[in-house]
């Protein structure tokens, strides 16, 4: 086949998104990520202190979705609404220019362009400086553009920016969005923003208003039992950045840690370096206390039934992908918070020493339980004992033999033989032993 310069094609931004939607929005099973892209912009106005109302409207019958906020409104000069809807990597949130937003979820200048590219219809309505502007796109092409004097009627409107769109079904498996994901986004925002803000979801005319405290959010999403726990808060601020962690230990429930976290109001489901930073912090803290008070456990034991809610506001968050599900800032990025956290941990310990000693006793008991499941072989090595097969005898000397037999009865017969060479018998219930000597027999394995 021929290959020359005429075979090289340069795609428009919108066209490239349409050809490769997964590169820009991740999961294309449903259009929830398009709603999130518009929602990020509205929440950024809230983070900046300008929006008091953020609303998402979902019409599942017409498959039309809207996101509204009463912030400053997209600037109208220089065709800015058209630029941010059609040109990739355009926006006011890039890290080398923080004049409009210091803290933001939107980072890459992709959001509204992706919404427009993957929608059959897309409309931006803006009220700013006594003007009403409307931009309507059909299949990503601008079809209507109108700016007119608005007068006093705009004062009665509950929003300054409204993004409305209808996703194109050819890019998604279904047009039914993951509404629970949007509920979670608005729940997180309501828990972490001031009480005078309103976060609203309207689905087919049914209205939900989200009003949740941080403690309630922690209890609902981190705790696994109904028991009352003692929650501690560590919070460090290096303006405009902030790192807050609410943590507690449960006496029951899953033994592995249970964590939720958000970065700039965005739930970060797969954790990241901020989680590892905090783990190292509390491991070092408890290991120093254990040495001082004579407790014996391993660093990872302090994660036993740990429950944490992280809330971060960062100027330069770095994520593993466009979907922003894992934070990848270097651990050294969080060193600015470490001295404050250490001082607060020491303060908690001084005020509640008895409680922290109870925790260390729990860690020690957990370590003892783990160690009890290990067996030693002549003091030269350790290995985990199998607890599934209760009829195994410990192999404590070399030269012993393990007999794998067919069924419990055969195993019992061998055990009753009292042969000193036999140190372990493993009956395989319901399993057939292969014919290896001309007749059914057992396997013998020498250590």
351 contacts: CB under 8 Å, gap ≥ 6: none
Q: Which of 130-134, 148-152, 336-340 has the lowest mean pLDDT?
A: 148-152
Residue 392 pLDDT greater than 80, yes or no: no
Confidence of residue 193 (pLDDT cuts 50, 70, 90): very high
Question: What confidence tens digit (pLDDT) does each residue in 255-278 have?
Answer: 999 999 999 999 998 889 999 999
CATH entry 3.30.1180.10 includes domain 214-371: no
The domain limits of the chain are: 13-210, 214-371, 381-446
| Mean pLDDT score, 233-246 | 94
What is the arrangement of strands in the sheet containing 306-313, beginning at the earlier edge strand? 232-238, 241-249, 306-313, 258-263, 266-267
HSE-up (13 A, CA, CB side) for residue 33? 22
* Contacts of 358 by beta carbon, 8 Å cutoff, 6+ apart: none
pLDDT exceeds cutoff 50 at 26: yes
Q: What is the DSSP string of 161-228?
A: EEEEEEE-GGG-S-S---HHHHHHHHHHHHHHS-TT-EEEEEETTEEEEE---HHHHHHHHH--SSS-
**pLDDT tens digits along 340-386:** 999 999 999 999 999 999 999 999 999 999 998 876 555 555 555 44
pLDDT for 130: 85
For residue 267, the model assigns a pLDDT of 92
What band does 135 get if pLDDT is binned at 50, 70 and 90?
very high
48: left (phi over 0), alpha (psi -120 to 50) or beta: alpha
d(CA 80, CA 82): 5
Cβ–Cβ under 8 Å, residues 73 and 92: no
> What pLDDT, on the 0 to 100 scale, is given for residue 416?
56
pLDDT in the model for residue 422:
55
Under a CB-based contact definition with an 8 Å cutoff, are residues 402 and 334 in contact? no
Classify domain 13-210 at the CATH class level.
alpha beta
pLDDT of 202: 97
pTM over 0.85: no
**CA gap 122, 117 in Å, rounded:** 9
Q: Rounded to 10 degrees, what is the CA torsion of 79, 81, 83, 88?
A: 170
Confidence band for 319, pLDDT divided at 50, 70 and 90? confident
């Amino acid at each position: 086949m021929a290959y020359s310069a005429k075979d090289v094609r340069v795609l428009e931004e919108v066209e490239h998104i349409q050809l490769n939607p997964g590169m820009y929005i991740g999961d294309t099973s449903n259009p929830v990520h398009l709603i999130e892209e518009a929602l990020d912009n509205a929440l950024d106005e809230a983070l900046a202190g300008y929006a008091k109302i953020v609303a998402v409207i979902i019409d599942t019958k017409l498959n039309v979705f809207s996101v509204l906020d009463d912030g400053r409104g997209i600037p109208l000069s220089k065709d800015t609404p058209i630029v941010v809807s059609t040109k990739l990597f355009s926006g006011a949130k890039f890290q080398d220019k923080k004049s409009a937003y210091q803290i933001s979820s939107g980072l890459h200048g992709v959001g509204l362009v992706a919404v427009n590219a993957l929608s059959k219809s897309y409309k931006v309505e803006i009220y700013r400086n006594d003007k009403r502007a409307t931009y309507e796109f059909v299949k990503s092409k601008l079809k209507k553009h109108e700016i007119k004097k608005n007068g006093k009627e705009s004062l009665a409107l509950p929003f300054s920016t409204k993004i409305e769109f209808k996703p194109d079904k050819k890019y998604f498996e279904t047009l039914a969005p993951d509404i629970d994901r949007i509920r979670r986004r608005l729940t997180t925002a309501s828990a972490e923003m001031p009480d005078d803000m309103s976060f609203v979801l309207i689905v087919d005319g049914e209205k939900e208003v989200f009003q949740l405290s941080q403690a309630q959010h922690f209890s609902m999403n981190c705790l696994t039992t109904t028991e009352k726990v003692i929650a501690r808060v560590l919070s460090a601020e290096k303006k405009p950045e902030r790192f807050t962690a609410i943590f507690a230990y449960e006496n029951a429930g899953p033994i592995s840690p249970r964590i939720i976290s958000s970065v700039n109001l965005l739930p970060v489901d797969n954790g990241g370096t901020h989680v590892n930073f905090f783990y190292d912090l509390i491991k070092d803290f408890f290991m120093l206390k254990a040495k001082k008070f004579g407790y014996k456990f391993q660093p990872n034991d302090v994660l036993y039934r740990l429950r944490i809610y992280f809330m971060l506001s960062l100027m330069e968050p770095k994520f593993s992908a466009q979907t922003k599900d894992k934070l990848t800032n270097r651990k050294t990025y969080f060193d600015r918070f470490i001295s404050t956290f250490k001082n607060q941990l020491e303060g908690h310990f001084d005020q509640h020493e008895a409680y922290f000693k109870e925790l260390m006793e729990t860690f020690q008991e957990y370590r003892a339980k783990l160690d009890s499941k290990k067996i030693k072989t002549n003091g030269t090595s350790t290995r985990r004992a199998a607890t599934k097969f209760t009829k195994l005898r410990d192999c404590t000397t070399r030269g012993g033999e393990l007999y794998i037999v067919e069924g419990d009865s055969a195993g019992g017969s061998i055990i009753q033989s009292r042969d000193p060479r036999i140190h372990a018998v493993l009956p395989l219930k319901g399993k057939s032993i292969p014919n290896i000597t001309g007749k059914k027999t057992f396997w013998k394995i020498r250590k």
